[in-house]
Amino acid sequence: MEQSFWIDRPTFVTGATGHVGGWLVKHLLNAGADVVCLVRDWLPRCELVRTGLLDRVTVVRGELRDSQLLRRTLGEYEMNTVIHLAAQSIVGTANQDPLTTFDTNIRGTWTLLEACRLSPTVQQVVMASTDKVYGDVDELPYTEEMPFLARYPYDVSKACAEMIARCYAETYDVQVAVTRLPNIYGGGDLSWSRIVPGTIRSVFRGERPVIHSNGMFIRDYLYVEDAVAAHMFLAERLADNPQLRGQAFNVSSETPLTVLELVEKIARLMGSDLEPLVENKVKHEILNQYLSAQKARETVGWHPLYTVDQGLQSTIDWYRAFFASQQ
CA angle 247, 249, 251 (to 5 degrees): 165
Tell me the pLDDT tens digit for each residue of 227-257. Answer: 999 999 999 999 999 999 999 999 999 999 9
- Residue range 119-173, pLDDT digits in tens: 999 999 999 999 999 999 989 999 999 999 999 999 999 999 999 999 999 999 9
| Cβ count near 29 (within 10 Å) | 16
Distance CA 155, CA 286 (A): 10
Question: Are 265 and 196 spatial neighbours (Cβ–Cβ below 8 Å)?
Answer: no
Question: CA 133 to CA 148: how far, in whole Å?
Answer: 5
Whether the ω angle into residue 120 lies within 30 degrees of 0, i.e. cis, is no
Contact 237, 176 (CB under 8 A): no
- 154 is known as an active-site residue: yes
Closest CA to 181 of 163, 155, 160: 155
Instruction: For the chain, list the domains and their CATH numbers.
Output: 3-185+221-254+290-305 (3.40.50.720)
Burial bucket for residue 61 (CB in 10 Å: 0-12, 13-18, 19+): exposed
Note the pLDDT of residue 3. Answer: 67
Cα separation, 322 vs 317, whole angstroms: 9
Q: Please give the C-alpha separations between residue 40 and each of 99, 111, 125, 217, 260, in angstroms, as whole numbers.
A: 18, 15, 20, 34, 35
Q: How far apart are the first and last CA of the chain?
A: 38
Beta strand 81-84 with 10-14 is parallel
Q: d(Cα 286, Cα 248) in Å, to the nearest integer?
A: 21
SS3 of 53-86: the string is HHHHCEEEECCCCCHHHHHHHHHHCCCCEEEECC
Give the pLDDT confidence score for residue 1 in this predicted structure: 61
Q: What is the pLDDT of residues 168-191, one digit of tens each?
A: 999 999 999 999 999 999 999 998
Cβ(128)–Cβ(73) below 8 Å:
no
The pLDDT of residue 252 is 97
Catalytic one among 134, 142, 152, 154?
154
Give the strand order in the sheet containing 10-14.
58-61, 34-39, 10-14, 81-84, 124-130, 176-181, 248-250
pTM of the model: 0.94
